[in-house]
Amino acid sequence: MENMQSHQPDEESFDENQSIQVIKEMIQISQKKLKNDGILFIVWGWVMFLGYMLMYFDHQLVMTYSMRLITKWTGNLLLLAGLIFTVYYILKQRKRVQTYIGISLRYVWISMIFCMMLINMIQYNVMHQIHFELQLPVFMAVIAFAIVTTGGILRYKLLTLGGILFGILAYLSSYLTLPYQILTEAFAWLIAFIIPGHMMYSNRKS
């Protein structure tokens, strides 16, 4: 009886240590995968940055109908190119190692998209219109939450910092008119996606 009791704490300690080691390995695998997936941060960072810059110029510059049409279609083509590349990349990577953390993060970003749709529906139900000067900062705050959550789960400080700055810019943009909100969000994507994306992708082999 005494022998059984003396071995029980060791077994519990072993189980706890083993669990901690498994979690650490999962985080390391996810961090390594995140560095490879940095290409998605780069692609979407540039897509959104250029898209919002085009929207800003459309609001601020005097353009002919043809120029506005070109600007609009350029933004749409950028989004389409980003979606096509993302689908291609995901299909190409589907046979790679899947982790619990990686799957959890996928739910974070999918939930973010549905949350933004829900916000629009609620705003329309209450105000009977979409108030873009309200929509844009709120959407930025939701995106910032997803970025900070991703960085926190993966213990990736650069990503967490980018998300915090994205959130700060979301708040500051609430004081601005729509054109300058658009410009602010463009630079938020530069700070939170493009810069960390390039840094993660350049360190993918380390």
DSSP 14-51: HHHHHHHHHHHHHHHHHHHHHHHTHHHHHHHHHHHHHH
For the chain, what is the radius of gyration of the CA atoms? 22
The pTM of this model reads: 0.77
pLDDT, position 25: 54
How many CB atoms lie under 10 A from the CB of residue 176?
15
pLDDT, position 15: 64
pLDDT tens-place string over residues 155-185 = 778 889 999 999 999 999 999 999 999 999 9
How many CB atoms lie under 10 A from the CB of residue 166?
24
pLDDT, position 80: 94
Distance CA 197, CA 203 (A): 10
Decide: 39 and 194 in contact? Cβ < 8 Å: no
Instruction: Considering only residues 148 and 94, tell me which one the structure prediction assigns the higher pLDDT.
Output: 148
Residue 112 identity: M
pLDDT, position 22: 55
pLDDT, position 122: 93
Distance CA 118, CA 112 (A): 10
Q: With a cut of 70, say whether residue 4 has pLDDT above it.
A: no
Q: Is the dihedral of CA 154, 184, 136, 75 positive or negative?
A: negative
